Structures are given as C-alpha cells and as structure tokens.
Amino acid sequence: MAPKDKDSTPPKKKVLDLIEEPKVQSRRDRQRAAQTVADTPAPPSALDKAKAAALDIFEDAGKKKRTTVRKTEQSGKSALPTISKLLEEEPAPAPEVPATPPPSAASVSPVVPVAEEPAAEEDTGNIISIKPPIIVSELAARMSLKPFVLLADLIKLQIFVAPHQAIEPDIAARVCELHGFIFEREKREKGGGVHKIEEVVVEPAAPQDEPEDLLQLRPPIITIMGHVDHGKTSLLDYIRKSTITKGEAGGITQHVAAYKVEHEGKPITFIDTPGHAIFSDMRARGADITDIVVLVVAANDGIMPQTLEAIEHAKKAKKTIIVAINKVDLPSANVMRVKTQLAEKGLQTVDYGGDVEAVEISALTGVGIPALLELLALQAEVLELKANPKGNARAAIIEARVQPGRGATASVIVETGTLKTGTPFICGPFAGKVKSLINDRGESVKEAKPGTPVEVIGFDEMPNVGDSLVEMDSIRAAQKLADERQLDRRNDRLQLTRKSRMEDLFSNVIDGTGKAALKIVLKCDVQGSVEAIKNAIGDIKSDKVNTQVIIAAAGPITEGDIQMASSADAVVLGFNVKVEANAVKAVKSEGVQVKLYSIVYELIDQVREAMLGLLEPLTRENIIGHAEVRMVFKLSKSKGRAAGSYVTDGKIHRKSHARVIRGGVPVFDGKMSTLRRFQDEVDEVKSGMECGIRLGEFNEYQEGDIIECYTLEKIPQGL
C-alpha cells in the first residue's frame, strides 16, 4: 500500500529528504505548536468532550487526515524499503547531513541499523522509533520537548499519566504527529533477536471545526428520559406512528433502536432505547451523541426519583432539556404542580420566568405532540447542528444484537461522513466491512448520512454500545488496528493483576524487581486523623522501603481516589470511612487494593509489617494462556455445558485455575473440571489448537467469551 504522504514526493525520496534535512520543523516551531496545544481552551464539558476536543488538534484545518505510518520490514515486502537499505543503494546523501543538526537530531545517526540486538533507539530526522514501553519523558526528550508539553497533549486525549509512565503506540503516533514527527514502533522478532519496525495504524481522528463550507445541517438527536410509567414508550410510539405515511405502516412493526421522523419537512432522530442506559453506556465511552433530552413527567404523578436522576444526567452532560408534561388527558393531571416542582429542581419553565421549554402533551390522545415536534425542530435550528457528509464516516453504536441469518448487527447513528456499504471499519477492538445497511423502515439502503439511524450488518463480533464505528482506508488497516487493540486489552487484563498490594511489597524487594516504594492514598473520617496517621506512617523507618502518601484527605473513598491509586500504582487505606458505590465498581475494574481500618494502630502496624515483609504470604497469579469460546455444547442434562474453544495464546492446563471473561469483565472464576481434545481428556492444550473446556459447575458460556488460564504461586514471606 502506498504511503499517505500529503505531497506527491515518491516514498523513497521522502525518506531521503528527511535524512538530508532533519530540520523539518524547528524546535521553536514545535514548541510553538505545543504551546498552541497547551493553550487550546478546554471545552465546557471537559470530561466527556475532552477526547473529541483533543482529537481536534490532529486535524489539519478540519481536513481528513490519516497518520502516516509506513514502515520498514526486514523482509523488504513493504512498499517502502528500509532506510538502511536505501542508504546502501544510494550512499550519497549521508555526507550531506547538516554539520550542525537541530537539537532533535544532534545525537542521531541517519542510519537505522538492522542489528542483532535491539539497538538504542535512534531518531532519523523526524522519525522516532521506540520499542514499547514508550515512556512519556523519553518520548518528550526525543522531540526535545519538556515532558509537561506532552502531558498537556495527553490530557486532551483523556490520557492521564505521569512522565515516567508508558503510553500506547497509537497514542504516541498521535502526539508525534502533532509535533511534526513520525512515530514508528520497534519490535523484537521472536528468536532471531533482529528487530523490525512495525506499522502503526491509527484510527482517523474525530473531526472538529470542519470548514464551514463543508458542513450541512443534520437532524437533531433526541433521547427521551423520565420516571418509569410516565409514558416514554407511549410518546415514542405515538411519534413514530403519527409521522409515517400509510404505505409505510407495515414496515414499522419491528423494533428499532432509533428512528428518524419528519416534522413539516424537518428531520428529527429519536433514540428509542431506555434513556438512562444509553446515557450512561455512551457517556462512559465518551460517545455522547444526544443533542436534546426530552424529559417526560406524568402530570398526575409529578417529579419522581427517576425524573430527578434524568435531570442530573442531562445537566451533567450539559444537554438542552425540553420537558414534556404527559398524561394531561387525565382528570388528576396537575400541570402547575409539575412546573413548581421543576422550578424547585432548578428547571424554571419559560412561563415561570425561566428558560426551559415545557409542552403539555398526551401520548394517548396525541394532544400537544405536534407542538413538541415543532419545538424540537426549532431548538435544533438554534443549536445549528451540522456535520460534514463528505468527511470520514463515523457512527455511534446505540444497540447491538445477534440476529438469525445476519449474525452480529448494530444499530448506529451516523455522526459525520456518509456510511456506505462496502466501507471497511474499526469498532472498538473489532474490524469489519459494511455488508449491508437497513434503515429504520426495514429497507435496504446504500448509504446513511449524518444524524441518520441505520442498522449495520458486517460485524464479526458483537460491538459494544457506545463504541464508535470509524471508517478505515482498508480492511487490512482495520484488521491491524483491531489486532493491536485486542492485544492491548489482554495486556491490560494482565496488568490488572499486577497492581501493588501491601503483601507483595517486600517480595519485590527480595527478588530485586521492586521499586521498594509503598504509595498510599489515605482517606480518613476527619482531618485530625488524616494528620495523625500520615505522620505516624512517615515515622516508620526502613532502609529498603519508602512510603509515599500521594493523597491524604478526609472523606469517603471515591472513584477519583481509586483512579488516582490505579494510575500511581498505590494502595488505598481508609480509616473509619466507607467506599462509595462508584468507587466499588472502580476497585473491581482497576484491581486496586483497598484496606479499611477502624483502629489506628492496626493501620499503622500493617503498614509497618508490609514494609518489613511481615504480612501474610500471598499467592500471585501467573497468566499462562487464553482460549476463546467458539461454540457452546450442551452435554447430557446432569453435565451442563462445555465450551468449544480455541487457544489463542499460551496454553490451557487442566490443573490450573481459569476465569471466564466477557466483554473485558470476569464473570466466573474457578478450577478447570474438564479439558478435552476430541474424546480424550488431556492435561494441556497449546496455542492454535481447539479443545473442550468446563470450569467447575459453570454452564453459562457464550460465544466470544475468553477463558483465561492462570496458576497461583506462593510468595515467600518476609526476609
């Protein structure tokens, strides 16, 4: 595949140019660029929009852009020869390297050696190659930048790391591109010790601030929220049925996750799936596509707990709220009461002197619904919702399911670009190609424009709600990115089990691998205990282990504390405090150790014992392999089900422990009860082979589950 250079310079010449003129971008230019990035004002809803806002910086005046990344392979199969090979063929350019190269190239040879050992990483002009782990400070040094400049870029990508921490290759490629560098990942070849440089495929960035002339109005995307039984479904049904023409009536009986209606020639898209779920699933993934929230409140019931929750969600996401006061046909309806309650919750309706639009409707009789649609269309005009239909296609997954005869399908709403049949795509960790598109009326269509809901057929695996389906150049590039993401996920899972634990602390010191630092997030009931405990911990002396209290504060253990502990690899110690519900989830997903105490001395003693290696011996997990469930077999009644699996890496061992992982989350953990190859019980099955697996009494296997096999190793105690 030809490299995607912006100009027409042939690939070979381009590389030589880079070598001959390493001053592709001066340090000042780069610093200015970095400063511009650092100065870019944060968008109003910093957290959920940060990713999109940050991706903005990779767009060149809104133009669609793919990150470069042609690399060299020793095999020479690549379209671009290795740099060293080029130099062999054309040795002339070497002496032309400027006598005083710019800082980034000062200590750099233009030749990338193909060595027996992975040599020290070398820069070639503006090409940076680093073998993972890619440490932020090291990458910054290669670009002659201060680490904080890269950290600012990374924060805009919602990546919160410290300078000494590692980032993923595709992220490195993005920040490199931002500063005028090309990132290449080096990889050590198995066995031979020779390293080759790998292609890094990057997902095209989400477009922001496209040039005005490319943008066209798109339909607003509406999510309906409200308390149970207040009439959300009835309202959606009424709108759908009342806005279709008679001839189409037959086509709307099937369930759709979203549909588009027209009100007086203006299109409006409704998401027809439980508002709360879609909100939390999608917002959790930063794929927040709703433009307007319609808050349904039953006039006879008034504001109820889920109404409040919906208000919270919508406010947090900074969405425009339009209130539909429903069931006004009922004699018990009390519209005034609803408006008063709304005002008490900070939603002052227009007739109460506020700016929240409210419409009185009946989803049963249809009263007020045209007025509601009118208001939505008007609001959309005010919001000036636009997208570039010619840009790179990007769509948000709002529902995914397996359909007989179609396999895994997903309902998506196109955010930008035009999604067409035949388009190769990446969606989370899966690659695919759009085989067909079905619109909300069950008709097959060739394409879907921004704001349009459509069912996509062409997934090999079921995608996750909230993930983005993004058009890629080729199925090969999509597959490559998918492979990398799957590998990263596996590595992430492995790392989860490697988080710091107090019990492990001293064993790290013993085997010489540890940093010998116990990092602590300390949360206490009152500030007085915070100070007292922090001082007491500081007084514990050990010549092998240091403590570092990275947070010391009063209050419950929050999700933020867990995130901080996770990124700093710290343990969380709580004194007389509870763990908030969200934090409990984070503890599970991040694998952070939390220890709670109600006696000060117990806390201090445990820290001391950890530092002296006196805590209970602990078992450590060693992951030995993974298998993917390809088919679920029903055994005779008493025996339940077995998982027909394919060993994807390492090996599966009958005497080991194993867990079933679904969508990245462990759903069962236990001992292997059966391991078979065909009819035979076997002890071990290696990578690339199929086998039948049963774990304990577990029977709920699903295709696509990952079985992770591990052994437990006892960590020796103390000195």
Ligand X SMILES: Nc1nc2c(ncn2[C@@H]2O[C@H](COP(=O)(O)OP(=O)(O)OP(=O)(O)O)[C@@H](O)[C@H]2O)c(=O)[nH]1
Pick the piece of the chain touching ligand X (CB under 6 A) from 321-329, 427-435, 577-585, 620-628: 321-329
Residues 6+ apart with CB under 8 A from 426: 203, 469, 470, 472, 478, 481, 482, 485
Would you say 299 and 330 are in contact if contact means Cβ atoms under 8 Å apart?
Answer: yes
Would you say 234 or 439 has its CB closer to ligand X? 234
DSSP-derived secondary structure letter, 63:
B
Pick the piece of the chain touching ligand X (CB under 6 A) from 80-88, 115-123, 356-364, 614-622: 356-364
Is residue 228 marked as binding? yes
Pick the piece of the chain touching ligand X (CB under 6 A) from 32-40, 162-170, 214-222, 358-366: 358-366
Residues 6+ apart with CB under 8 A from 497: 591, 621, 623, 710
Of residues 227-256, those binding ligand X (CB under 6 A) = 228-234
End-to-end C-alpha distance for the chain, whole angstroms: 58
Would you say 329 or 605 has its CB closer to ligand X? 329
What minimum distance in Å lies between the beta carbon of 58 and ligand X? 41
Can you tell me which of 82, 362, 416, 468 binds ligand X, judged by CB under 6 A? 362
Pick the piece of the chain touching ligand X (CB under 6 A) from 117-125, 359-367, 413-421, 561-569: 359-367
User: Can you tell me the distance from the alpha carbon of 32 to that of 625, in angstroms, rounded to the nearest whole number?
Assistant: 47
Would you say 369 or 521 has its CB closer to ligand X? 369
What minimum distance in Å lies between the beta carbon of 230 and ligand X? 5
Closest CA to 295 of 370, 222, 364: 222
What minimum distance in Å lies between the beta carbon of 365 and ligand X? 7
Answer yes or no whether residue 364 interacts with ligand X by CB under 6 A: yes
User: Can you tell me the distance from the alpha carbon of 80 to that of 697, in angstroms, rounded to the nearest whole number?
Assistant: 54
- CA angle 368–372–378, rounded 5-degree value: 145
The pair of structure tokens assigned to 366 is 């249809």
Would you say 51 or 230 has its CB closer to ligand X? 230
Would you say 131 and 186 are in contact if contact means Cβ atoms under 8 Å apart?
Answer: yes
Pick the piece of the chain touching ligand X (CB under 6 A) from 221-229, 434-442, 487-495, 504-512: 221-229
Is residue 231 marked as binding? yes
Is residue 273 marked as binding? yes
Would you say 124 or 326 has its CB closer to ligand X? 326
Would you say 301 or 561 has its CB closer to ligand X? 301
User: Can you tell me the distance from the alpha carbon of 261 to that of 248, in angstroms, rounded to the nearest whole number?
Assistant: 12
Q: Quickly list DSSP for 347-412.
A: --BGGGTSSBEEEE--TTT-TTHHHHHHHHHHHHHHHT-EE-TTS--EEEEEEEEEETTTEEEEEE
What minimum distance in Å lies between the beta carbon of 228 and ligand X? 4
Which amino acid is it at 124?
T
The pair of structure tokens assigned to 656 is 């080991």
* Angle, in degrees to the nearest 10, between helices 305-316 and 275-284: 30
Is residue 274 marked as binding? yes
Is residue 125 marked as binding? no
Question: C-alpha dihedral over 530, 531, 532, 535, to 10 degrees?
Answer: 120
What minimum distance in Å lies between the beta carbon of 305 and ligand X? 12
Of residues 324-353, those binding ligand X (CB under 6 A) = 326-327, 329-330
Reduced DSSP (H G I as helix, E B as strand, rest coil) percent helix, strand, coil of the chain, to 5: 30, 30, 40
What minimum distance in Å lies between the beta carbon of 296 and ligand X? 6
Is residue 226 marked as binding? yes
Would you say 175 and 135 are in contact if contact means Cβ atoms under 8 Å apart?
Answer: no
User: Can you tell me the distance from the alpha carbon of 390 to that of 413, in angstroms, rounded to the nearest whole number?
Assistant: 16
The pair of structure tokens assigned to 538 is 């500081």
Most distant CA pair in the chain, distance = 92
Is residue 272 marked as binding? yes
Number of residues in contact with ligand X, rule: CB under 6 A? 15
Which residue's entry shows tokens 């779920």?
277
Residues 6+ apart with CB under 8 A from 386: 215, 216, 217, 218
The pair of structure tokens assigned to 459 is 């997934």
Is residue 40 marked as binding? no
Would you say 360 or 440 has its CB closer to ligand X? 360
What minimum distance in Å lies between the beta carbon of 364 and ligand X? 4
Pick the piece of the chain touching ligand X (CB under 6 A) from 134-142, 225-233, 257-265, 710-718: 225-233
Pick the piece of the chain touching ligand X (CB under 6 A) from 172-180, 223-231, 454-462, 527-535: 223-231
Is residue 49 marked as binding? no
Site pattern 534..563 for ligand X (x: CB under 6 A):
------------------------------
Would you say 163 or 274 has its CB closer to ligand X? 274
Is residue 230 marked as binding? yes
Find the DSSP H helices in 61-188.
Answer: 83-89, 136-142, 147-156, 169-178
Strands 546-554 and 517-524: parallel
Answer yes or no whether residue 313 interacts with ligand X by CB under 6 A: no
Would you say 226 or 451 has its CB closer to ligand X? 226
Would you say 154 or 324 has its CB closer to ligand X? 324
Answer yes or no whether residue 485 interacts with ligand X by CB under 6 A: no
Pick the piece of the chain touching ligand X (CB under 6 A) from 146-154, 174-182, 360-368, 527-535: 360-368
Sign of CA dihedral 425, 430, 434, 439: negative
Is residue 229 marked as binding? yes
Residue ranges that bind ligand X, judged by CB under 6 A: 226, 228-234, 326-327, 329-330, 362-364
**Binding site members for GTP:** 226-233, 272-276, 326-329
**Binding site members:** 226-233, 272-276, 326-329
